[in-house]
Each structure stands twice: as structure tokens, then as C-alpha cells.
Amino acid sequence: MTTNELKALASLIDEDDKEILHLVEKQIYMLGSQMIPYLEEESQQQTNQKVQKRIDNIVHHLRFETVLEKLQVWKQAEQDDLLKGLWILATYEYPSLEIKNLQIQIEQIYYEVWQVFREDLHPHDTVRIMNSIFFGKLRFKPNPDYQAINNSMINMVLETRMGNPIALCCVYLLVAAKFKIPIYGVNLPNIFILTYKSDLMQFYINPTNKGIIFNKSDIDNYIEQLNLPASDVFYQPCTHLDMLKRILRNLSFSFEKIEDHEKMKEVRRMLTVLEV
């Protein structure tokens, strides 16, 4: 279809005849996200709030379908790119967000660490340097509201420098990866942590306590207190896919908390895409 035809189709969204409106909406959904600019232009010209609401709902649906498609592609072929996965999730709430902006911010944190980084240090000292920049100079810290929606939005975590444990871990390990430091996420119950794991040693890092270093015995005690059976999941690195699924579960709880049941259902659909 030509540009004029797409504009004309968008203008028909104010049709009163239900049968015609149904056909118009069906055609718009078939054309997909390419219709969004024309629908937004039509919305700006509308004075009828009912029609504006109709357009908003359609645009949201089209954007959501795009998020689902991108998540599917990420799962199938791009799981190594954690930042891209986080960006896709963030576009659910911030559809105009560009991944380039996130890359620039991660690069800026990397540069802050790079200025004091040395490759000849013991791993514990390497982590302490990371901590001094991340939690000290840049003042990343836990968000007291673990269920806040912005905890699951990487752009807001970078902007406010606050997040829940997994949000802080994501930023931390994205920077560590640029130095090729073997730091990974670990799926502990109730809290997400990091592990440094090489052929020579392994230890753990707690982002909610300024990156304090601890050992396997501490996890043993924690699991025992929770009365849970021991499992490798609690000690070994998890995948980026595991991390995105946990973030989506957190986001689902966040929307449930504020009783936004429609968005809760959509987030669960996103989660289903990653679980199938």
C-alpha cells in the first residue's frame, strides 16, 4: 500500500458503522507496526476522545505484538546479548527507547571502571574495584520498593541508579563482561546474586550489600534457613534466558500489586514466549 493509502486507512478508524470499523481494524492489524505512525498522526488530529482511545488501544496492541516478536527472535538467536533482551523488555513501557542510548550508558560506566582497572589483580581485588566505582562513585543502590515497575526497566535503572537485586546484577555483569571478567548471575530464592567463576576459583557477590564478597558456605546457611533442599541452581551461573524470565515474573507481580490486570496478562504472555 502507498503512503496515501495507509493514511486513508488510518483515517477510517473514526467510522461509526461497526461492520466497517471491524474490517478497518482487521486490515490495520494485518499490516502491523507499519501503521503506528499513521495512527499516531490521526490521533493528534482527532478531537473525539472515544476515537483517540480506540487508536491508543490499537497502537498498544501493535507495539505489544512487536515486543513479542522481538522476544521470540531474541530467544531463538540472540540470547548472548543480554542488553538487547533487557532493551526489548523495556520497550514494553518505553516504546521509543533506543538500544543505542543504553549502550552509551553502559560504555560510560565501563570507562569509569577502566580508569582504575588492572588485569594483574587478584579476582577479589578486581571485584572490589568494580564495587568502588559501581556502588561508591556512581552510587548504584537497592530500590527499597522491590516490586516497583521501574526495577524491570533497564533504562530507568541506569537513569535512577536504583533497582532490585537482579536489576543491579544486570548492570554489574554487563560492565564486567566488557572486561571479560567471568561474572554471572545466580538464581537464589528471594534474591538474585552474582558469582565470579573461573577454572581456578569461585565466589559470590551480593549487589544489595554494596557488592560484598561471600562463599558457598554462606549460601549453604541461607538455603538451610529457608528449609530448601540443596540444588546446583543455587550455586551455579544461570543463563540470560533465566534472567529475563525472572525479570518478567517480577514485572508480573508489580502489575498485580497495582491491580493492572491487563498488563499483568500481557507480561505473562511475554513470559510464555520465553518458556515455550
The confidence score (pLDDT) of residue 242 equals 97
pLDDT at residue 53, as a whole number: 85
Which set of grid coordinates corresponds to residue 212?
Answer: 560484598
The per-residue pLDDT for 261 is: 95
Closest Cα to residue 141, out of 154, 114, 160, 124? 160
Distance CA 150, CA 265 (A): 18
**How would you write the pLDDT of the chain (276 residues) with one tens digit per residue?**
788 888 888 887 887 778 888 888 888 888 888 888 889 888 888 778 888 888 888 999 999 999 999 999 999 999 999 999 999 999 999 999 999 999 999 999 999 999 999 989 999 999 999 999 999 999 999 999 988 999 999 999 999 999 999 999 999 999 999 999 999 999 999 999 999 999 999 999 999 899 999 999 999 999 999 999 989 999 999 999 999 999 999 999 999 999 999 999 999 999 999 998
For residue 85, which of 74, 98, 100 has the smallest C-alpha distance? 74
**pLDDT confidence of residue 90:** 98
Q: For the chain, which residues make up each domain, given as ranges?
A: 3-77, 82-275
Residue in 189, 185, 181 with CA at minimum distance from that of residue 240:
185
Q: CA 123, CA 33: separation in Å to the nearest integer?
A: 47
pLDDT at 273: 97
